[in-house]
Amino acid sequence: MLKRNLLCKIVGIVVLLAFLAFNIMPGFVADSPLQPQIAEAAAAPKYVFYFIGDGLGASQRQAAEYYLQMKKGDKNAKLLMNKLPVAGINTTHSADSLVTDSAAAGTALAAGHKTNNGVISMLPDGTIVKTLIEAAEEKGMATGIATTTRLTHATPAVFAAHNENRNNENEIAADFLDSGVEFFAGGGYRHFVPQNWQWGKSKRKDDRNIFNEFGKQGYKVFVGERNGAKQFKNYHPNSKEKVIASFTSSHMPYEIDRINANSAIPSLAEITAKGIEVLSKYPNGFFMMVEGGRIDHACHANDAPATIHDVLAFDAAIARAYEFYKQHPNETLIVVVGDHETGGMGLGFAKNYFLKLDELADVKVSVDDTLEGKYTGDRNAYYRYLEQNLGLDNLTAEEKAEIEMAMDIVDSKVETKAYGGYDPAAIAATHVVSERANLYWTTYAHSGTAIPMSAIGVGAANFAGYKDNTEIAGAMAQVMGFDLRE
C-alpha cells in the first residue's frame, strides 16, 4: 500500500509538471489563432513595433470588433490586436493623479517612470529620463515615430523630447533635431515652419524653419496634404535614408473623414508600411512607435463611429507590422498597448440588454472636425444635415427634444460646461447616435480604468499579466537589453 501511494504521488507530480510546462512555456497560448514561437530566442528582437492606441480601452477594442462583425456579417471576425496570443492588462495612473493624461502615460510607456500630468519624459523634479527610442539609438538601431496626431503631441513627443510642459510644442519640434530618429510621419507642420510661412499657418514665434534644418541633416522632407502626401506615397528609399513627413497643419483627419472625403493623406497603415520600408534598410534593426492618436480625440467628443473607424485604422496598421513579422518571426516583436481609456465608453446602459451597432453604419462625418459648428441657426438645414450624414431620420420626440435643447443653448450664446467644451448641438446629435446603439459615455475626459495589452513575437511573454504601465517599458528594456537608468 505504501509503495502504491508513493507511485501515485510520483505520477501526480509528473502530470503537474507537464501541465505547468505546457501552460507557462514562454510565448505559448493554447488554441491561439496566431501561434507565437514556442520558446523565446536567446537574442533580443532585431525589429520592434510598439503600437500605442491613445484612449484605447477595452470598450473601444470590443466595440470596433463588434462593428467589424456586423459589417462583415461574420460573428467570428476579430481585430488582429485581439488575436495576438499574449495578453495582459495595465494600470495607467500618473504620479499626481489616478486619472492620467497622455504626457504622463506616454512617459511611463516610453521611459518606465511615473511623472505628473503634462510632463514630457522628465520626472516631477525636472530630471530627464531616458526613453526606449533614445536607448535604441544608442544601441545602433534605426528608430521611427508615426502618429495620426501632431508629431509634437504628447505621445510622440515623449519618445524623442524632454519638456516640463506638453504644450511647448515649438520647443519639442526643435528637440527632435537632436533625437537621431530616422523616420517621422504625422501631422502638425505648424510647429516646424517659421511664423511668416507663406504656404499655411504657423504656431512658431520665430523665423526658424525646422524642416530646413532637418533637410540640412540629410532628411527627405515631405510637407502638405497634396504634394507632400503624393510625394511621400511615391517615395521609395534606395539605401539608408532619413525621412520627416507632416501632412497637415494640426492633427491628421479622423479615418471616417479621410475615407469619405477621399483624402490624399495616407492612412496610418500606409505610413506604417512606409516606415518599415525606410527603417528596414538599416542593418542593425529598428524600433518603431506607431500611435493611433485620434481614437482619444473621438472619445473626448463622445463620437462612437469616429472612435470605431480609428480603431479599425489602427488595427490595419498593426496588420502591416504583422505581415513583416511573418517574414521575420524569429527576429520581431509586436506590442500593442493603450495609454489610458477616454470617454468612459460603456457598452450598454440602464436595464437594456442589447447593442445595435448597425445604428452607426450611416454616419459619414466626425463630430470634432466636421459636425462641430455646423448648426448656425437654421434648424431645418441642421436636421437635413443630420439625416444625410449621421443617419438621424425619424427622430423620436425625446431625441428631437434633446437636440432642440442644445440648439437653444447655441442660439442663446450662453457658455456651458455641460457639453465638455464642445458645440452643444454636435454633442447632442452624437449622443442620440450613441443612445440608439446603446453606447453611453461617462466623461469628456479620460478615465482611470485599466486597459488591455497584447503582443506577439520574440520576448512577448514578458508583457503578459496585470502590470502597471511603467512595467511595459521595463519589460521592453529587459527584452532589448537596454538600461533606462543611465
Three-class secondary structure of residue 132 per DSSP = helix
How far out from the chain centre does Cα 445 lie? 16
Residue 339 is labelled as binding a ligand: yes
Residue 155 marked ligand-binding: yes
Phi–psi pair at 85, nearest 5 degrees: -75, -20
Beta bridge partners of 223: 246
* C-alpha triplet 148, 151, 157: angle, nearest 5°: 120
54 belongs to an annotated ligand binding site: yes
**Residue 361 one-letter amino acid:** A
Written as one letter, the residue type at 278 is V
Q: 469, 485, 380: which is closest to 110 by C-alpha?
A: 469
Helix 424-437 vs helix 304-327: crossing angle, to nearest 10: 70
Q: Is 393 annotated as a binding residue?
A: no
Residue 89, CB half-sphere, CA atoms under 13 Å: how many?
A: 8
Known binder of ligand: residue 369?
A: no
421 CA to centre of own chain: 23
DSSP 176-215: GGGT--SEEEEE-GGGTS-TT-TTS----SS---HHHHHH
CB 34 within 8 A of CB 85: yes
Edge-to-edge strand order for the sheet containing 451-457? 219-223, 242-246, 183-187, 142-150, 286-292, 47-53, 332-338, 451-457, 86-91, 465-468
- Record the cell numbers describing residue 20, joined without a space: 505547468
Helix or strand run (H / E) with residue 17: helix 2-24
- Is 446 marked as binding a ligand? yes
Q: Is 191 annotated as a binding residue?
A: no
CA–CA dist 224, 199 (Å, integer)? 9
All cell numbers assigned to 470 = 511603467
| Residue 358 in marked binding region | no
Which residues are the active-site residues?
Answer: 102
Residue spans of beta strands (DSSP E) within 196-340: 219-223, 242-246, 286-292, 332-338
The answer on whether 300 is annotated among ligand-binding residues is yes
Q: Which residues are annotated as a binding site?
A: 54, 153, 155, 291, 296, 300, 339-340, 446
Q: Which residues are annotated as a binding site for Mg(2+)?
A: 54, 153, 155, 291
Q: Which residues are annotated as a binding site for Zn(2+)?
A: 54, 296, 300, 339-340, 446
